[in-house]
Amino acid sequence: MNASPTSARALPFDETRRRGGPLSALLSSDRPRSKVLSALLLAILLLLAATPFLFSGSQPVGTAAKICVFIVLVASYDLLLGYSGIVSFAHTMFFGIGGYGIAIALERLGPTWGSAAIGLIAALALSALLAIAIGLLSLRVRAIFFSMITLAVASAAAVLASQLSDVTGGEDGLSFQLPQALRPAFRLLSEPVFGTAVNGRLLAYYLVFFVSLVIFLVLLRIVNSPFGRVLQAIRENEFRAEALGYRVVAYRTAASVISALAATIAGALMALWLRYNGPDTTLSFSIMIDILLMVVIGGMGTMYGAVIGAALFVLAQSYLQVLMGAGSAALAGLPLLPNLIHPDRWLLWLGALFIISVYAFPGGIVGRLRQAKQ
Amino acid sequence: MSDLTTDAAAPAELPRAKSDWLPLLLIPALALLALPFVGSPSTWVTLTVAGLAMGMMIFLMASGLTLVFGLMDIINFGHGVFISLGAYATLLVLGPLAGWATADSVGLNLALLLLCILAAMAVTGVAGAVFERVIVRPVYGSHLKQILVTMGGLIVTEQLIHAIWGASPIPIPLPQSLRGAFVLGDIVMERYRVVAVVIGLAVFIGMQLLLNRTRIGLLIRAGVENPEMVEALGYRIRRLFVSVFIAGSALAGLGGVMWAFYRQTLTAGMGMEVMVLVFIVIIIGGLGSVGGCFVGSILVALVANYVGFIEPKLALISNILVMALVLIWRPQGLFPVARR
């Protein structure tokens, strides 16, 4: 396990300590360290912040909200995979718990902020308990064992969610009402601003946006704290970290709890935005695969990789298919080729990119950009 | 493999793997325990036979994975895609020989099943060789990368199956004489399940004999214990690794055929769906142990069948409960494999 994918990266501790300033404080002294990357991140941030005012229609805003949620989800997974070297397949379980927490509470207790809070707190508590249980039971064994056990547990959770239809709505999921202030009919200002009505939908979007931003910065803070450094040390050489006196299982369990909590919040945001939660939106295994692709393509162990990965992936999911459709139509008549670039085969190409990432540039897009600078 | 077999004549008595019978007793104990809960003995026999057959099918799908892990220390998260691929390979046979499936002859029907199996094993064997070369070889030694890269291989191969055979589920008919059931008094035994038991037992016994009584088996077992030493003795461990990977993939293909005929539909995701079960089985059995995989498969299938009859809602998570109980008893699985 010595040849960890990110072992080549130097820890940017001393270099950044000397600088400072408010931006550094906000980014926990972990600057993008590449001009192109900074530009990309800034562009994504500005676009996400201004989407409701830049584009008309509901699809772009929906895409932007999904990107925000997935940035949190993928960043929290990166804390596990990239910073701690733990491969878990149970991340969607925590995402689902968050979604169901909000959905069940708002559906049963009525559409108020109070019930949303109760749902979120209950979901966070359940996630933390499960993460501790799984962590303490199986994090002391080897990487493969942990992966397989989390896969089994996650599939059991998915089965439970679809079986306990009295509680979770089964395969149909749960639709629910939002608190008054987030409903489309709610008007904060009577006049539109820059041609966009300031209604509950807009507030809901900015709730998703700002909560995602804060959670992302918190995660960035965590991985750049001494705690984060210990995780990286364990990832690089478990034996030495143990010999230095760090309790490896405790640190790993703590990492998986933090990661699970962030995923739970992401799930809650997703449910709030969609006003619905079901197995396919938060709990399915295909979302787990998406998360894995986003982390690795964006860049494991970089945090900013989550932003790039999530944005790229969600955009590809929404818009690459159109491009591929055109290509496929142009090649009609040839054998197999049109099938390979059929719009439904977009995952094939991202999968190939994923494999190439693992081999050729383990730091993903972010690692690549940072290397280019040096 | 010529350099492995034509060497000095095998000694009369090859060392055997040491036996540990305790976990084997679990199966009859479980069956007896279930009897009073099920109630009627004839239902119990029906459930037990069905469970055994199910267990054999799971074993066929899981055996290759555990074999590959045992020897190569490679965990192939993409193993499930070989199950799907094997299942789709039956189309190569079922297309031209569709008449054999509906023919009213047991011989032709069984021949068709055999041809499907051969085609599947050939296709998945070749795919396994490619997979080993392209996907797995660069990541020997790093479990983290193995998990990621084989997962990527799974995604790409699954999409390729979609591209080649289309994305919609394809129905495949069970050959005429394998449909229906034998009825002995109150006991009902589906014919196809009997066939599955026969094939599963044959593969298991074949694997045990190969691993425990032949020179190749000895080398494989030695390779599991200490690959460097086997290499130093002049055997090409690399070639042995590749052949085991190919054999493992072919076994997945065989399992895929049996599973596909049982479900009677083909979907590219079918392999991934059973992978969870396969993982549970090899965790229960002890990663890398073929015998453990066999016992684990039967345990999981029997429990699922009994629980499914007694309390249907619990059946779907019964395998997790079995896994948890086994891991509490033996944290390394039923038959722990000595690790290097």
Q: Report yes or no: B74 at the A interface, CB cutoff 8 Å.
A: no
Alpha-carbon distance A246 to A231, whole Å? 10
Q: Which of B136, B137, B151 would you mutate first to test chain A, the one with the most A CBs within 10 A? A: B151
Rounded mean pLDDT, A121-146: 86
Rounded mean pLDDT, A180-208: 81
| Contact: A348, B159; criterion CB under 8 Å | yes
Listed by number, the residues of chain B in 228-267 with a beta carbon closer than 8 Å to a beta carbon of chain A are none
Q: Report yes or no: B145 at the A interface, CB cutoff 8 Å.
A: yes
**Res. B2 pLDDT band, cuts 50 70 90:** very low
How many CA atoms, within 13 angstroms, populate the side-chain half-sphere of residue A298? 31
What integer pLDDT is reported at residue A7 of this predicted model?
Answer: 45
Nearest CA in chain A to B286: A145
Rounded mean pLDDT, A335-362: 82
In one letter, which amino acid is A367?
G
b/e sequence B314-326, b meaning 16+ C-beta within 10 Å: ebbbbbbebbeeb
- pLDDT tens profile B32-76: 888 888 778 888 888 898 899 999 999 999 999 988 888 778 888
Across the A/B interface, how many CB contacts are shorter than 8 Å?
106
Nearest CA in chain A to B77: A148
Asked whether the predicted pLDDT for residue B249 surpasses 90, the reply is yes
H/E element, B259? helix B237-263
Q: Domain containing B143 — which CATH number?
A: 1.10.3470
Token digits for B106?
């047991």
| Contact: B160, A160; criterion CB under 8 Å | no
Contact call for residues A272 and A49 (beta carbons, < 8 A): no
pTM of the predicted model as reported, rounded to 2 decimal places: 0.87
Prediction ipTM score? 0.83
- Share the mean pLDDT of chain B: 85
| Contact: B287, A145; criterion CB under 8 Å | yes
What integer pLDDT is reported at residue A258 of this predicted model?
Answer: 96
- pLDDT tens profile A67-77: 999 999 999 99
Which class is A31-373 in CATH? Answer: mainly alpha
- Share the mean pLDDT of chain A: 86
Query: Which residue, among B64, B94, B39, B102, has the nearest Cα to B256 in the 3D structure?
Result: B64
B142 contacts in chain A (CB < 8 Å) = 1, 3-4
What integer pLDDT is reported at residue B205 of this predicted model?
Answer: 92
Q: How many domains does chain B have?
A: 1
A137 contacts in chain B (CB < 8 Å) = 327
Residue of B75, B135, B320 lying closest to A153 (CB–CB): B320
Q: For chain B, list the strands marked E by DSSP.
A: 170-171, 181-184, 187-190, 265-266
- pLDDT tens profile B206-244: 998 988 888 888 888 788 778 888 889 988 888 888 899
Helix, strand, or coil here: B183? strand
B248 in a structural domain: yes
**Res. A4 pLDDT band, cuts 50 70 90:** very low
A171 contacts in chain B (CB < 8 Å) = none
B30 in a structural domain: no
Domain span holding position B271: 40-151+192-329
B18 in a structural domain: no
**Res. B19 pLDDT band, cuts 50 70 90:** low
In one letter, which amino acid is B92?
L
B287 in a structural domain: yes
B176 in a structural domain: no
Alpha-carbon distance A320 to A300, whole Å? 23
| Contact: B276, A344; criterion CB under 8 Å | no
What integer pLDDT is reported at residue A19 of this predicted model?
Answer: 55
- pLDDT tens profile B111-129: 888 999 999 999 999 999 9
B88 in a structural domain: yes
**H-only helix segments in chain A:** 13-17, 21-26, 35-54, 58-84, 91-109, 113-138, 143-163, 165-168, 200-223, 226-236, 238-243, 248-274, 285-298, 304-315, 321-330, 337-340, 346-360, 364-373
What's the DSSP call for residue A6?
A: T
A342 or A277, which is more confident: A277
Q: Report yes or no: B153 at the A interface, CB cutoff 8 Å.
A: yes
CA dihedral B1, B7, B12, B14 (to 10 degrees): -50
**Res. A5 pLDDT band, cuts 50 70 90:** very low
What integer pLDDT is reported at residue A11 of this predicted model?
Answer: 52
What integer pLDDT is reported at residue A347 of this predicted model?
Answer: 85
Residue of A1, A155, A354 lying closest to B142 (CB–CB): A1
Write out the residues of chain A at the interface with chain B, using a CB-CB cutoff of 8 A: 1, 3-5, 85, 87, 137, 141-145, 147-149, 151-153, 155-156, 159-160, 163, 285, 289, 292-293, 296, 336, 339-340, 342, 344-345, 347-348, 350-352, 354-355, 358-359
Residue of B139, B163, B279 lying closest to A348 (CB–CB): B163
Alpha-carbon distance A150 to A166, whole Å? 26
- pLDDT tens profile A270-300: 999 999 998 888 888 889 999 999 999 999 9
B336 in a structural domain: no
Residue of A160, A292, A344 lying closest to B151 (CB–CB): A292
Q: What is the DSSP string of A109-144?
A: H-SSHHHHHHHHHHHHHHHHHHHHHHHHHHTTS-HH
Domain ranges of chain A: 31-373
Q: Taking the CA atoms of chain A, what radius of gyration do you get in angstroms?
A: 21
Q: Report yes or no: B164 at the A interface, CB cutoff 8 Å.
A: yes
| Percent of chain B topping pLDDT 70 | 93
Token digits for B217?
């088996």
Asked whether the predicted pLDDT for residue A9 surpasses 60, the reply is no
- pLDDT tens profile A142-189: 777 888 889 888 988 988 888 888 888 888 888 888 888 888 777 777
B2 in a structural domain: no
Beta partners for B79?
none
- pLDDT tens profile A97-118: 999 999 999 999 988 899 999 9
